[in-house]
Structure 1
Amino acid sequence: MTEQITLEHRADGRADFDFFFGRWHGAIRKLADVTDRACTEWVEFEATCDCGPILEGLGNFETAIMHPGGQAVEGATLRLFVPSTRTWHIWWMSSRLPGVLDAPVEGRFEGDRGIFEGPDEFDGTPILVRYEWDLLNADEVQWAQRFSWDGGTTWDDLNWVTMWTRIV
């Protein structure tokens, strides 16, 4: 019976982020100002993160330390699986904006690619944000972000890309 439940849970999507459990090194490349659509200057820095399961596999929690401009920034991601819709909700928070929990993005994986979208806002202007996960192999994964300023009709080029490499 346990094996059947495990196979069912794998098939429904709740194990989609299991690949990310453990410790990772991130090589980050982001636009210097992700809110400026004309910005072409890229900055690079590094990060580490730890991710593990919560709620008997219905979610996971990730903590990260990034070093933009040589300063440490702490961040955390909460991911929760919704079995009834077979989707994930993802929330982001960081020490850059104390007390703020971003609105969640929602989506799922199709094969080795996950797309997650949700509302955001910059200076009072509503936008959509998209997170893109691409599993390259067991020890490398790419996470990227882009914005839509027109309700999802079009999407800007990537404004943030992190290449995660497994440490442990």
Structure 2
Amino acid sequence: MRRHRFLRSASVATVACPASFAACASTLPDPPGYTTLRTGGAHDFEYFAGGWRTTQHRLKARGVGSSEWDTFPATLCMTPYLDGRVTADEIRFPTKGWAGFTLRSYDLAKKQWSIWWINSTSGRLETPVVGGFDGARGEFYGEDADDRRPVKVRYRWDKVDQDHARWEQAFSYDGRVWETNWTADFVRADVASACRGGRPRD
């Protein structure tokens, strides 16, 4: 769910980036665990096909040491393509008035997933995070800018069981520590009640 990245809201802390955002982020040291070489399997996201109800927890202010969280519901519907090597999902946040779209593609040569995010409030295709699953844990990393502040980005996916999943997003602003700023707990929903034509009904 950098950017996404699962719906990045604006941060109150701003540092101007003198060059391109990617170049700025590249000057940061790699925080613990950061790698763009992590690989996975072509069927890593098959379990996520269908409809999901989810509870979202978003940090109200990122990068400033805040501990205040906003909690709100969402509905997500995911469709696999090309034998599961491409997936697309739409998520709607009915109490917020916006939505998001995630595109994932699996590079057969690199054995690696790329994940792109589009926020309905901007319409921009964000820079992807890359990685894959090792068992039930998926990790994906990339570089971005948070309101013009360079960051390293981490997504984590946990397959709790066939009907439950958890996602989290974290940024590193200094290349030393991660700040988790968004989490989402997913419960599988009846597709007919949650989705229409592969899109959320809400």
| Structure-2-length-normalised TM-score | 0.71
Higher relative contact order (CA 8 A, sep 6+): 2
User: Which residue number corresponds to residue 43 of structure 1?
Assistant: 70
The aligned counterpart of 2:32 is none
Percent of residue pairs bearing the same amino acid type: 36
1:76 alignment partner in structure 2? 101
Q: Tell me whether 102-111 or 55-64 shows the greater mean CA deviation.
A: 55-64
In the TM superposition, what are the counterparts of 1:116-131 in structure 2 within 5 Å? 116-131=140-155
Residues 40-119 of structure 1: matches in 2 within 5 Å? 40-67=67-94, 70-97=95-122, 99-119=123-143
Amino acid at match of 1:73: W
Letter in 1 for 2:120: S
RMSD: 1.4
- 1:26-46 superposed Cα distances (whole Å, 9 cap, x missing partner): 11111112x333221111000
Alpha-carbon deviation of 1:92? 0.5
How many residues align? The count is 151
The aligned residue for residue 6 of structure 1 is none
Please list every run of 5 or more consecutive structure 2 residues that lacks an aligned counterpart in the other structure.
1-39, 191-202
Question: 2:100·2:117 contact (CA, 8 Å) conserved in 1?
Answer: yes
What residue number does 1:155 align with? 178
Aligned counterpart for 2:163 among listed residues 135, 139, 160: 139
1:45-98 residue CA offsets vs partner (Å, 9 max, x unmatched): 00001001123322100011013xx3321100000001111110000011122x
Q: 5+ unaligned residues in a row in structure 1: which ranges?
A: 1-11
User: What is the rounded CA distance, in whole Å, between the counterparts of 2:133 and 2:107 in structure 1?
Assistant: 13
What is the DSSP-based 3-state SS (H/G/I as helix, E as strand, rest coil) of the residue aligned with 2:126? coil
